[in-house]
Amino acid sequence: MRIPLFFLSLFIVGLLSFNAPEQAHACSCAMPRSTQESIDTTDVIFSGTVEDVRMSGEWEFEVSMTVDEDWKGLETSERGELTVYTAKDSAACGYAFEEGEEYLVYGYRDEESGEVSVGLCSATKPLDQAEEDLALLSDDEPRACTMDAKACPDGSYVGRDPENDCAWHRCPGEVQACTKELKICPDGTGVGRTGPHCAFAPCPGAEPNCAPYVCANGKTHPRCSEDGTVINYFAPPCHTDGGEEGAPFEDVQSTHANADAIFYVKAEGIVEGYADGTFKADAAINRAEFVKILVGTMELSSAESSACFDFSPAFETGAMDPFLDVSLGEWFSPYVCVARSRHVIGGYPDGSFRPAASINFVEAAKILSNAYGLLAATTIPACEGDCPWYRDHVIALEARAAIPTSIESFDQKITRGEMAEMIYRLKANNNDKPSKTYEELAAGNETAVFRNDEFPVTFSYPARWSDEVTSDSSATWYVNLGPTCRGCAEGGDTETMYVRATDRNDALDRIADIRKQSQDPMMFTTIEHDVNAGGNRVFVWSSGGICGFRQGYVIGERFAVALGGFCVDDDPALSAALDAIALSIRENPTFFVWRD
């Protein structure tokens, strides 16, 4: 039985307070606790979505949840998915979780099993009713960690670090664990991260940089051994000597691919880095962060500064045309205000900006191009045929050698280091570095063809998704493809796009409904395409929402295909890919009817 003694006592008191044993008894929570008391006295606090609720034994439910954010008590292994336990009904102080709903959960951890129990009196509540709790949990104070300790090999003990998501402090001499990422080398092999800074190991055949480390106090340390092998130090070699000379961030050494650019944006006051002295060059950057840093490179007029940074009524009343998801008090709202007023950014059809979404290369290319007026100063070759919306912006960056060689595809999510690199090349006119071209990236956009003798439809899709295509060989077939969509409340952790068979008449009825919805501004429905292509009617629309859902139908003479994607409308490159798939769908001439 995993119900804490506190809940069990309340249950027994509730039983004793009634005379008729056959009557249903209610759980009494005695004197309610304040939100702060709940935060201080529970072992585990997190927000998440209920995926499944099922009986576990005679007296309790087992509740599987996807963890969205945690504030207290979760182990690293529990921060993706977690199972909690609660009594089977409210009479026994059980909490009534519902599948598909989001909750702020206060839990108690069993000292022996380590399992987390949740009760009716624990202050757990639906997330949309947790405004006061979230305000207290989201202040700037370090998070509360469990008071346990880990034994180290040398016999000492370390606790948890409240400044680092309650991860364990490192034991003396312990080396940082690197992420399990892989970089593909020109010869087709792959290398992982290694060393004290978790930089990628050099590719086979690449000449290592063996210039010694020069520390701020004048000391030097060798970078390579006598045979030319790079030395992997257990700690940064200049760690006790004031750091590496000229390195403004302790996690960016002079050997990093974007080091010059990162040093430039720091020296120019464009970025400050994190409070712990790091820059996190290889971390992804979101849309809000990107716009904030970009605006930091601009000269602002006094009117712009007043309207956007002094919280002028002009922003609040709509003169700056703010986005639905950017409120006046957000840290990034002044920067978004400037970018919007200068037409550097445009947002999404549903009126949102989606500040927390990661930014990909073509989105960054368009924003940079708009911010610095690159199109007007670039000779762009005429477009032949159907050209994607981002073509001219990418070519404008190409003309200034501003596409880092680490960019492999149009829809690649960029890192903080790549962001610094592009700004550095554009602002400092540093165009003597190697750069990718539009054609090179387009070559990486080659297509593969889906065709199966069980199905009467053929279509094309990006070849780099080849290994991610799955199919259902049943009569009503379904194909999942594309990169994984993560952190999406509607879509979950699944492939981004789908293509499936559907009834032709049902599809036509649905198209009629969508056309009506598009006339209602409250539905946020936008018709993107309604065209005839290859003898088929191609109808694509976007409906915004949490996941940026984009859908479509292809109507042939004897068949219909539905397609769509989560997280697609958030991403212009993926939107273009879905549209291209729709336009490529053809009926396989070998077949004339659907299989039943």
| Residue 361 pLDDT greater than 90, yes or no | yes
Query: Rounded CA gap, 428 and 264, in Å?
Result: 9
Q: How confident is the model at residue 202 (pLDDT cuts 50, 70, 90)?
A: low
pLDDT, residue 25, reads 35
pLDDT, residue 15, reads 35
pLDDT, residue 452, reads 62
Per-residue pLDDT tens digits for 378-434: 898 888 877 888 999 999 999 999 999 888 888 888 989 999 999 999 998 887 888
pLDDT, residue 146, reads 60
Structure-block tokens of residue 74: 């979760």
pLDDT, residue 2, reads 43
What mean pLDDT do residues 470-484 have? Answer: 63
Structure-block tokens of residue 380: 């762009």
What mean pLDDT do residues 177-191 have? Answer: 55
Q: How confident is the model at residue 374 (pLDDT cuts 50, 70, 90)?
A: very high
Query: Rounded CA gap, 384 and 393, in Å?
Result: 16
pLDDT, residue 81, reads 85
Query: Rounded CA gap, 192 and 235, in Å?
Result: 18
pLDDT, residue 347, reads 82
Who wins on pLDDT, 163 or 488? 163
pLDDT, residue 139, reads 58
pLDDT, residue 346, reads 85
Q: How confident is the model at residue 590 (pLDDT cuts 50, 70, 90)?
A: very low
Who wins on pLDDT, 448 or 242? 448
pLDDT, residue 556, reads 82
Class of domain 5-137: mainly beta
Per-residue pLDDT tens digits for 527-562: 888 888 767 888 888 876 555 678 889 888 777 888
Who wins on pLDDT, 198 or 368? 368
Q: Which of 446, 397, 447, 437 is nearest to 421 (CA)?
A: 397
Structure-block tokens of residue 193: 């991260």
% of the chain surpassing 70 pLDDT: 68
Query: Rounded CA gap, 262 and 253, in Å?
Result: 10
pLDDT, residue 398, reads 93
Per-residue pLDDT tens digits for 26-40: 454 544 567 777 887
pLDDT, residue 503, reads 84
**Three-state DSSP state, 64:** strand
Q: How confident is the model at residue 595 (pLDDT cuts 50, 70, 90)?
A: very low
Who wins on pLDDT, 16 or 360? 360
- Quote the mean pLDDT of the chain: 74
Structure-block tokens of residue 194: 């290694």
Query: Rounded CA gap, 333 and 325, in Å?
Result: 10
Distances (CA, A) of 395 to 344, 387, 408, 410: 18, 12, 15, 12
pLDDT, residue 454, reads 59
Looking at 163-177, 193-207, 440-454, which range is the least confident one?
193-207
| Residue 6 pLDDT greater than 50, yes or no | no
Range among 33-37, 140-144, 416-420, 455-459 with highest mean pLDDT value:
416-420
| Residue 246 pLDDT greater than 60, yes or no | no
| Residue 22 pLDDT greater than 60, yes or no | no
State phi, psi for 127 to the nearest 5 degrees: -60, -35
| Residue 251 pLDDT greater than 70, yes or no | yes
Per-residue pLDDT tens digits for 274-331: 877 888 888 889 999 999 999 988 887 777 777 777 655 555 544 455 688 888 778 8
For residue 160, list its beta bridge partners. 168
pLDDT, residue 476, reads 56
Q: Specify the CATH number for 447-587; select among 3.40.50, 1.10.860, 1.10.150, 3.40.1000.
A: 3.40.1000
pLDDT, residue 31, reads 46
E strand or H helix that includes residue 526:
strand 526-533
- What amino acid occupies position 351? G
pLDDT, residue 593, reads 35
| Residue 225 pLDDT greater than 90, yes or no | no
* For the chain, domain boundaries: 5-137, 175-245, 287-443, 447-587
Query: Rounded CA gap, 301 and 549, in Å?
Result: 38
Cβ neighbourhood burial of 345 (10 Å; 0-12, 13-18, 19+): buried
DSSP state of 256: S
